Amino acid sequence: MASGFFALLDDIAAIMDDVAAMTKITTKKTAGILGDDLAVNAEKASGFVSSREIPVLWAITKGSMLNKIIILPLAFLLSAFIPWAVIVILILGGLYLAYEGAEKIYEFIVPHPKEVTVNLKKDLTKEELLELEKSKIKSAVVTDFILSVEIVIIALGSVVNEPIVTQIIVVSIVALIATIGVYGIVALIVRMDDLGLRFISKSNGKSGFLFGLGTFLVKALPIIIRSLSVIGTIALLLVAGGIFVHNIEFMHHVLEQIPSILRDFIVGLVVGSVCLLLVSGVKLLLPKKTVKH
Kindly write down the DSSP assignment for every residue of 132-162, as one continuous string: HHHHHHHHHHHHHHHHHHHHHHHHHHHSTTS
The pLDDT tens digits for 238-259 are 878 888 888 888 887 777 788 8
On whether residue 115 sits in a domain, the answer given is no
Identify the domain containing residue 50 by its residue range. 36-109+121-279
Looking at residue 266, what is its pLDDT?
A: 92
CA-CA-CA-CA torsion sign (165, 168, 171, 177): negative
pLDDT band at 274 (very low <50, low <70, confident <90, very high): very high
Per-residue pLDDT tens for 149-162?
Answer: 878 887 887 777 77
Structure confidence at residue 55 (pLDDT): 81
Residues with Cβ within 8 Å of residue 162, at least 6 apart in sequence: 18, 22, 170
**Predicted structure pTM score:** 0.69
pLDDT tens figures, 76-125: 888 888 888 878 888 888 888 889 889 889 988 886 655 544 444 455 56
Does residue 72 belong to any structural domain of this protein? yes
pLDDT class for 199, splitting at 50, 70, 90?
confident
Does any domain span residue 7?
no
Would residue 273 count as lying in a domain?
yes
> In the predicted model, what is the mean pLDDT of the chain?
75
Residue 25 lies in a domain: no
